[in-house]
Amino acid sequence: MRVGILTGGGDCPGLNAVIRAAVLAGTQRHGFEFVGFLDGWRGVLEGDVVPLDEARVRPLLAVGGTVLGSSRTNPMKDGVEAGVAAVRASLERLGVDALLAIGGEDTLGVATALHEAGVPVVGAPKTIDNDLSATDATFGFDTAVQTAVDACDKLASTGASHHRAMLVEVMGRHAGWIALHTGMAAGAHVTLLPEEPVDLDAVAETVRTVLARGDAPLIVLSEGAPVLGDHAVKDAPTDAFGHVQLGGAGEQLDRELQQRVPGLSTRLTVLGHLVRGGSPSAADRVLATRFGLSAITALAEGELGTMASLRGTDVVQVPLADATKVLRTVPEHRVAESAGLSW
Ligand code: F6P
């Protein structure tokens, strides 16, 4: 069998580890051949492929990003029928029998539509946001949180020297997992998530209390935190999947706090894409490798239309369609468990 691998959507530490495990296991256990499609669905539509063999993938375990490149190209943007026909024609032209799609909600949504139309496909979920409902965790999240915590630790030390409030904005459009875990691990005094309304007066009160006892306030917020009641949106066009680009939540919070706390010195750091880059953590390398192995076994055993998923400590295959059903946001009990305490 000739298998085409693609990585779509925002990149994520661990993508290369999935590719490596899939190619090594597919070649050695099942005699599969592999090609890589460049830049996600763009490569599929345009027939832009590179060979993927054992020698190419072996060094990839610790390499950040994706060697295949990624894009937010949506093959279904002119309708599912046209998209399926274009993908099918390209696969036939290239002699590719099946696809391994590694991606988040959007990429796996396209994979689901292809599966429903009879195109052989399996998936592996990725996103640093950790917001896919069909898996307990996605690789990339652990690395992103560690990077954000390292940054917060450094920012906290300079904040303490200058008696400043340090504001740290992290990724997370609709799900605040990165902010929640970063805030907890870095000992933030305030953590603001997209899931919860923001009480600016309460945040200001915490800042005053922390300063009054001689500490420097550390505030972690998601880019999607509704500081002024709604997401802060950049004046930019939506992408091919209809997503707006967020931006400015940290600046809004900064302005509001300065108004509420006279004389307050603040510094805002927007970590942005920093947390998406770099070498995957050990935990992410393991999860990504297990997802790659599981997806290839599924392909060999004819479990098409499924994706690798972590359930407890086991990796199992679940229907691709489940990945995109509901966004896994931070539940109330996770907010409540750390709320109301003076950290
Ligand atoms: O991968 C998801 C994500 O990290 C979001 O948290 C963020 O809003 C988005 O990607 C930004 O991606 P890009 O700038 O690459 O479009």
Ligand 1 proximity of 129 Cβ (cutoff 6 Å):
yes
Residue of minimum CA distance from atom 15 in ligand 1: 10
pLDDT tens profile 26-72:
999 999 999 999 999 999 999 999 999 999 999 999 999 999 999 99
Residue 178 Cα: closest atom of ligand 1? 6
172 touches ligand 1 (CB under 6 Å): yes
Residue nearest to atom 10 of ligand 1 (CA): 10
- For residues 191 and 221, give the distance between their C-alpha atoms in angstroms, rounded to a whole number: 6
Distance (Å, whole) CA 119 – CA 79: 16
246 ligand 1 Cβ < 6 A: yes
- With a 6 Å cutoff on the Cβ, whether 173 touches ligand 1 is yes
Catalytic residue check, 53: no
Instruction: Give 3-state DSSP helix, strand, coil % of the chain, rounded to 5.
Output: 45, 20, 40
pLDDT confidence of residue 238: 81
Edge-first strand listing for the sheet containing 218-222: 190-192, 218-222, 165-170, 266-270
Beta carbons of 48 and 42 less than 8 angstroms apart? yes
Instruction: Please check the confidence at residue 235 and state whether its pLDDT lies above 80.
Output: no
Spatial separation of the C-alpha atoms in residues 48 and 167, rounded to whole Å:
43
pLDDT band at 133 (very low <50, low <70, confident <90, very high): confident
Atom of ligand 1 nearest to the CA of 246: 8
Q: Please state the pTM of the whole predicted model.
A: 0.95
Give residue 337's pLDDT: 95
57 three-class SS: helix
CA pair distance 330, 321, nearest whole angstrom: 21
Residues 140-195: tens digit of each pLDDT: 999 999 999 999 999 999 999 999 999 999 999 999 999 999 999 999 999 999 99
Q: Could you give the CA distance from residue 280 to residue 139 in angstroms, rounded to a whole number?
A: 8
Tokens of 61: 């375990």
Helix orientation angle between 141-162 and 177-186, rounded to the nearest 10 degrees: 50
Burial (0-12, 13-18, 19+ Cβ within 10 Å), 138? buried
Catalytic choice (39, 129, 142, 284): 129
Contact present, 112 and 305 (Cβ < 8 Å): yes
Q: Which helix (H) or strand (E) holds 181?
A: helix 177-186
Does residue 216 carry a pLDDT above 90? yes
Q: Which of 171, 177, 222, 244 to mutate to test the pocket of ligand 1 (most atoms within 8 A of CB)?
A: 171
Q: What is the largest CA-CA distance in the chain?
A: 69
Per-residue HEC secondary structure of 16-36 comes to HHHHHHHHHHHHHHHCCEEEE
CA distance 90 to 135: 30
Instruction: Please report, for residues 90, 146, 156, 180, the alpha-carbon distance to residue 186 in angstroms, rounded to integers and kept in the order given.
Output: 48, 10, 9, 10
Q: Are strands 190-192 and 33-37 parallel, antiparallel or unpaired?
A: unpaired
Ordered structural domains, the chain, with CATH: 2-139+280-323 (3.40.50.450), 141-276 (3.40.50.460)
Helix H or strand E encompassing 191: strand 190-192
Measured by CA distance, the residue closest to atom 9 of ligand 1 is 10
Alpha carbons within 13 angstroms on the beta-carbon side of residue 259 total 8
Counting ligand 1 atoms within 8 A of each CB, the residue from 102, 129, 239 with the most, and so the one to mutate, is 129
Ligand 1: which atom is nearest the Cα of residue 9?
Answer: 1
| In contact, 64 and 279? CB cutoff 8 Å | yes
